[in-house]
Amino acid sequence: MTDIPVPDGHIASVVTHLEMCARPKMAAIQSDALVLERWERPGLAEYRALFRRVGAPWLWFSRLVMDDAVLGEAIHDPGVHIYAIRMQDGADAGILELDFRQDGACEVGFLGLVPEQLGKGHGRWLMTQALQQAWGHPGVERVWLHTCSFDHLGALKFYQRSGFQPFRREVEIVPDPRLAGYVPRDAAPHVPIIGGE
């Protein structure tokens, strides 16, 4: 066994990469509550606000630490398709980001719902939408994503039930985004803050 010390003020997670190398059989799943809306060239502030709202409980921070130019380049790239998940009344319900910049592949970069929409069965609908968009893109032969040990406890099993197979695992150690104010300090209570007081 190897112990890897994590510096104070940092967090460590186990990241699992999963892939799907053949288009799955997908039953159509309808939603009376949600709508998938392509979000063309989202404003940076609006994008960050929705990203933070969806991802704060799971310590999503990668897009929050980017400066405006880098973030704009990433989310306005024509190879990156961003979708806002909306309630029927137009309220924000989640986000989906698909990255087609690698030939023959689609990375499900971000997929998630706002906290108040969790546990209502919407995840299956959202995953079906993601897979339909990914596999419907010309030339895609592989769809992949990653999750980590900060994510919802059921995330890894959900991805596997959806047809993804794990292919790589790694340990990631990063500065705790709560200490820098990128997400609220009380976010992700399942991950203790150590140091950086």
Amino acid identity of residue 130, one-letter, is A
Residue 197's pLDDT is: 63
In the chain, the percentage of residues whose pLDDT exceeds 90 is: 83
pLDDT tens figures, 104-120: 999 999 999 999 988 88
Each domain of the chain, given as residue ranges in start order, spans: 10-175
Tokens of 172: 């990631």
Helix (H, G, I), strand (E, B) or coil at 7: coil
Residue 26's pLDDT is: 77
Q: What angle do CA 67, 72, 17 make, to 5 degrees?
A: 85
Burial (CB < 10 A; 0-12, 13-18, 19+), residue 111, is buried
Torsion region of 196: left, alpha or beta (phi above 0 gives left; psi -120 to 50 gives alpha):
left
pLDDT tens figures, 28-87: 777 778 899 999 999 999 999 999 999 999 999 999 999 999 999 999 999 999 999 998
Place of tokens 């895609």: 140
Residues in a beta bridge with 17? 146, 168
| N- to C-terminal Cα separation, the chain | 30
What's the chain's length in residues? 197
pLDDT tens figures, 115-137: 998 888 888 999 999 999 999 99
Question: Cα separations (Å) of 38 from 42, 50, 81, 85?
Answer: 10, 14, 7, 9
Edge to edge, the sheet with strand 92-99 lists: 34-38, 80-87, 92-99, 105-113, 142-148, 10-20, 165-175
* pLDDT class of 153 with cuts at 50, 70, 90: confident
Place of tokens 């596999």: 135
Residue 81: what are its φ and ψ, rounded to 5°? -105, 120
Amino acid identity of residue 196, one-letter, is G
3-state secondary structure 99-140: ECCCCCEEEEEEEEECHHHCCCCHHHHHHHHHHHHHHCCCCC
Superfamily for domain range 10-175: Gcn5-related N-acetyltransferase (GNAT) (3.40.630.30)
What pTM did the predictor assign?
0.93
Please check the confidence at residue 187 and state whether its pLDDT lies above 90. yes
